Amino acid sequence: MLYNIMPSFIQEKVDIMKSEMVEDDIVDNWFLMQYQWPVVTILVFYLAFVLKIGPDLMRDRKAMSLKYVMLAYNLFQTLFNAYIVSFIFIPGSFSYLYTHSCVPLPRQHNPLWMRIFFVLRKKHSHVSFLHLYHHTAMVYMCWGYLRYFKGEQGVFQGVLNAVVHVVMYSYYFLAA
């Protein structure tokens, strides 16, 4: 009896998942959005560089002084994320974002760069499992969300993420 129930239960879940998937010619034609393999390849090379290639490359070299690069990067991230957060304070903009799912908001930075800077500065203790897991998973999950489950409900998470990044990169800028 269980054998007859499982296939219909699984088929029901698959049908629900398929009904929630959204086709969108605009998003589906963006760079890196048609197939998952380019994104997976980028993440594999990123992890290989941060965990093995980068540290091996820097083992016998002096740590790079990237102070001004880091200052510029942190300032850019602070201002960029503050710009995204500013949409909250424009009357009607939040409801506009919720009703128009393909609003051309500026693109968030690539979170993988910060770890590469750590490797080049020989700050290997800053490359934690949590950082690697979080940023690798976020890149892949954001790709999957945009590819298969497009919707305006992602706006709130994006704005919340931008608020956190304003505070975080302001601190990084001031601490550098």
Residue 146 maps to a domain: yes
Residue 15 maps to a domain: no
- pLDDT of the residue at 103: 46
Residue 61 maps to a domain: no
- pLDDT of the residue at 79: 95
N-to-C CA span, the chain: 65
- pLDDT of the residue at 44: 94
100 with 24: CB under 8 angstroms? no
Residue 101 maps to a domain: yes
- pLDDT of the residue at 113: 64
Q: How far is CA 150 from CA 17, 53, 137, 153, in A?
A: 13, 36, 18, 9
Q: Is 158 exposed, middle or buried (0-12, 13-18, 19+ CB in 10 A)?
A: middle
Q: Which two tokens stand for residue 159?
A: 């704005």
Map tokens 């942190």 to a residue. 74
User: What domain range includes position 169?
Assistant: 70-176
Based on its alpha-carbon atoms, the radius of gyration of the chain, rounded to whole angstroms, reads: 20
CA dihedral in degrees (31, 35, 40, 43; nearest 10)?
Answer: 10
Among candidate residues 100, 124, 131, 134, the one labeled active-site is: 134
Higher pLDDT pick, 58 / 10: 58
Is residue 134 annotated as part of the catalytic site, yes or no? yes
- pLDDT of the residue at 105: 46
The total of structural domains in the chain comes to 1
- φ, ψ at 97 (rounded to 5°): -60, -35
Residue 11 maps to a domain: no
Q: What is the pLDDT of residues 83-139, one digit of tens each?
A: 888 877 777 776 666 565 454 444 555 566 666 766 677 776 667 787 788 888 888
Mean pLDDT for the stretch of residues 161-167: 89
Q: What is the pLDDT of residues 21-61, one digit of tens each?
A: 777 777 778 888 888 899 999 999 989 988 899 889 889 98
Residue 156 maps to a domain: yes
- pLDDT of the residue at 64: 86
Contacts (Cβ under 8 Å, ≥6 apart) of 93: 87
Residue 139 maps to a domain: yes
Residue 6 maps to a domain: no
